[in-house]
Structure 1
């Protein structure tokens, strides 16, 4: 995995610009964590490409930016982030067409694929990726993002071109990119709404998942090359289960390709256990293994465990049982809750996100600490992310009130408290922002995109809508969190359940078939039943662990008191100071639930963001 940057200017000769080396260095340096192994810059009169490399495949030969030349003339240059899992087949096709390769890397395959098929190479790629290709023949830049938006890609249009990068901080290192946020951007930052293409900061956008953005002298042209489509499902239940299993076997097998140590992230839940078991079987078939796995929990968590509505049991026993069942080389990463409040850790989280985490603030530093520990032994990890969105694992898929609600189902009563963080904000500010109005507009916009299958009954139609909202809005926030926290420590996390072939297929399986046994994720459970111990197979959906330690909540209140004591704290004008003081003075209690800390977490993250990013607010 890597970090990419670049810019195009059609009016100035960049090759003679004395500021170019410093700007290129500043932009690429912001992404050093994403690519600690190597760096490079390519520059011509009109275009600059930068790259930071995390070496995964062909460590010696995959240096970037990668160019293709004819004689002494550069034809095209590529800066690429991600993995293409079918690069071996594509390479064979290209070699048959006469292409000659110098390396074993998937990057070179992408470059030659562009030379052979132009921007339509995207129709042939299977993977997670974001990249930019400079075509010197036409003086055009082509920006591409993978179908599910696993890898990020931001851009800012300038007067005479464009600036782009893997993260917001890379764009901010360019002198033409402002740091302004308007009302709409602040709504986007504060609510659990992820609008495709929106990047919070004014004038900055994301390349949408499944989009090609072509940059020419005349302007930019965006084209969606992939989107979810409604198709009739013709297979019966037994065949459907078999198809899901076959797809999962192929996907996991492809995603085990790596020239560096690889592992799985194992919680003991159905999703991560299925991935780990499939990986163990594939490695054994190759004569390799065992699979390495990592689980996370908080020190002494089992001793003070208290079941609630979303977590009936601790993870550790299930992860240990699954690991023993498949013969994994298993490790447990135990976190100390005190580390979550460590200023250095929280600063690293904010530096990685460039935005205030919008929900369950402790999960960001805990994920960062997990990935930091995993990175000591592995460079690549497989994750079960997005199975819940695809197979219907969340409570709101089965809550009649959430399904019937005229809004995003995770923001309905019963679920909304897990994503709340506005409790300490000033009422006047909230009225000015009108977050409910913004949320409703984004919801209507999302509904209008949902594909329609003629003849589908009302129930199936609504569940298609719920699934679409989860796959195009909710999961994007989780993918962003996983990308930023993993890349902050140079760890590549792969997500088999985001393979577009599986997503296309399962999206069109009728809801009645997805829940054929009356449980959540019936199809996934049936497709992997022979791989898992009964306890894991029957375990109910359990979310990523959050600390319940009252000492963490007390550390937050102490920090908030410090912020309130600072008359120059940038967040003060946005807070209801009375509520904030009462929250800071609240006595320590017993178990500290994440949703009880949301307002304090948001106030602290917002203050840190305003301080460190010099954000100009126009609301």
Structure 2
């Protein structure tokens, strides 16, 4: 796993611009703590930061291939899980390899198949490839958008990088956030392609972008499709089990220590069980990690977010598979640490406002990194198999809004009352939410024969796969890479997504529970106590001391007469949240957003161009 940067300038000579390339690449050090590299010729320059995972000695980048007509150079991030099969095919076609890395397979694959290479790749990846023979740049992002890739067109070319901070390090990119960018920040739903920063774009999942002297063009190379599902329950569960086992097997390939994230929920338990079975004959047990809070088990109270505490279930799975399990227990002071918040905002480049859910995850990743370089995680299953409770509430999934937001706020209308009144009017969040929702629904793949109920379910699944999962994957990627940890997501294999999307809803809930077909497919590797457990989301601390710390920090911000954050947030709303009962609905969310915005404005000093 790595961080990539690049620059194409058709009117300039980049061989003398190494200092600017190095400045961009240095922002990716967290993503690649093991090594750095740079390559340049007249019109193109590529930078790379490496987290060594496969072929530790031979996978240095940028990687080049000399041809009779020019150099082809690659800066690449991620993992292609079928690289061994592709390498064998390429060898049969006469290619010679000097490394054992998947990077060289991607480079040689391009030399053999050109842009059609993307149709052959399975994995999580983002890369920039400069073809000096045609003075042409190819940017590629994996099908689900597991790995990020941003670009910013310039007068005579383009800048690109794994994260916005790489582009913002270049003097030609101004840190401007206009009304559209603020809407994205305040809405909290990741619109494919949008990057918040003016002039910048995130390459959408399953897309390529091609730059040559005639301009820059994007195109998709994969789309989710609706197809008929003809298998019965037993065959479906068996088919799904084979797909999951294959995905986990592919993603266990690494030349560094590996572990799994284990919450004790169905998804992470399934990945852990499959991984443990694959590694059963290894020299050491599988390592697993989970996160908990001081006093959480003893004083737990079910609420709208927390259903049941994780620790006992995670321990049950670890014992079931014989794992070496570590449970990281965090106290309120650690979760509320202002430096942890700052690190999370810097990692994500945005004031997301998830608070302790982000803070605990970053601290967990840091703890894991002391033992492992690669972790397997269960992200994606809830979006594919209808795991969230609102999937099972027809009133919510049939309403004209993103279901998870409707479930969280109790209303389709997505106003943001914590904003200054004049900013509320300018941004018009309700209309923005309606427009984004209609766009997503219009793209939902359906079959002509689908009845209204089938279309409702397909729409709910598609909204989650294209507008919710992206945010989850971005969170996982940014916070893990900030700790120098590679996290892989076996459920997000595109073959599993294609199959799961077309399973009839009656099979998803055949026993009256959420994710019924997934429970059935993984029954051999998940203990019964977990299979019977009701879905519980990523945990939040219930310790009142955490919220009291947020209130103290918010009062400190309020004491600053000229704090820039109050150009966005209503001071009276912030005062009420900081000084009155901390268990009032929505108060905690307001505090988290206020503090994240405060840090973000300080770190990035964006120009707010809102009219």
Instruction: Using structure 2 for the length normalisation, give the TM-score.
Output: 0.97
Counterpart residue number, 1:65: 62
1:352 pairs with 341, 347, 360, which one?
347
Size of the aligned set, in residue pairs, is: 610
Which segment is superposed worse, 555-564 or 1-10? 555-564
User: What's the offset of the Cα at 1:118?
Assistant: 0.6
The equivalent of 1:290 in structure 2 is 285
Could you tell me which residue of structure 2 aligns to residue 374 of structure 1? 368
Aligned partner of 2:576 among 582, 588, 596: 582
SS, match of residue 375 in structure 2:
strand
- Preserved CA contact (<8 Å) 1:35 1:53: yes
Output aligned runs, 1:258-337, within 5 Å: 258-284=254-280, 286-337=281-332
Aligned residues of 1:419 and 1:595 also touching (Cα < 8 A): no
The alignment status of 1:54 with 2:51, answered yes or no, reads yes
What is the CA–CA distance in structure 1 between the aligned matches of 2:239 and 2:102, rounded to whole Å?
A: 28
1:28 to 25, 29, 40: 25
Q: Distance in 2 between matches of 1:573 and 1:122?
A: 45
Answer yes or no: is 1:507 the counterpart of 2:501.
Answer: yes
Q: Measure how far apart 1:481 and its partner are.
A: 0.6
More off after superposition, 478-487 vs 556-565: 556-565
Structure 1 residue 573: deviation in Å? 2.4
Alpha carbons of structure 1 residues 236 and 287: separation in structure 2 relative to 1, 3 Å: same
RMSD: 1.7
Q: CA deviation at 1:74?
A: 4.6
Match of 1:568 in 2: 562
After superposition, residues 174-573 of structure 1 pair within 5 angstroms as 174-284=170-280, 286-358=281-353, 360-414=354-408, 422-573=416-567
Report if the CA contact (8 A) 2:414-2:433 is conserved. no
- Are 1:145 and 1:212, in contact at CA under 8 Å, matched by a contact in 2? yes
Unaligned runs of 5+ in 1: none
Task: Give distance in 2, aligned partners of 1:420 and 1:363.
Answer: 22
Q: Who is 2:161 aligned against? A: 165
1:149-164 equivalence runs, <5 A: 149-164=145-160
Q: Deviations over 1:248-273 (max 9, x none)?
A: 01000110000000000000000000
Q: Secondary structure at the match of 1:545?
A: coil
**Does the residue aligned with 1:597 lie in a helix, a strand or coil?**
helix
CA distance in 2, matches of 1:288, 1:93: 32
Gaps of 5+ in 2: none
Partner of 1:40: 37
Alignment correspondent of 1:12: 12
Structure 1 residues 594 and 587: alpha-carbon distance in aligned structure 2, compared to 1, 3 A threshold: closer
Q: Deviations over 1:557-589 (max 9, x none)?
A: 11111111112210112232222222222256x
Aligned to 2:3: 3
- 1:421/1:600 contact within 8 Å kept: no
The one of 600, 611, 614 aligned to 2:605: 614
User: How big is the shift at 1:612?
Assistant: 1.6
SS at match of 2:538: coil
Distance 1:495 1:319, change over 3 A: same
Q: Which moved more, 1:148-157 or 1:504-513?
A: 504-513
Give, in angstroms, the shift of residue 525 of structure 1: 0.2
| Residues 230-239 or 371-380, more deviating | 230-239
Task: Determine if contact 1:67/1:74 at 8 Å carries over to the other structure.
Answer: no
Task: Tell me how far apart the structure 1 counterparts of residues 605 and 170 of structure 2 sit (CA, whole Å).
Answer: 15
| Contact kept? 2:577, 2:588, Cα under 8 Å | no
Shift of 1:287: 4.0
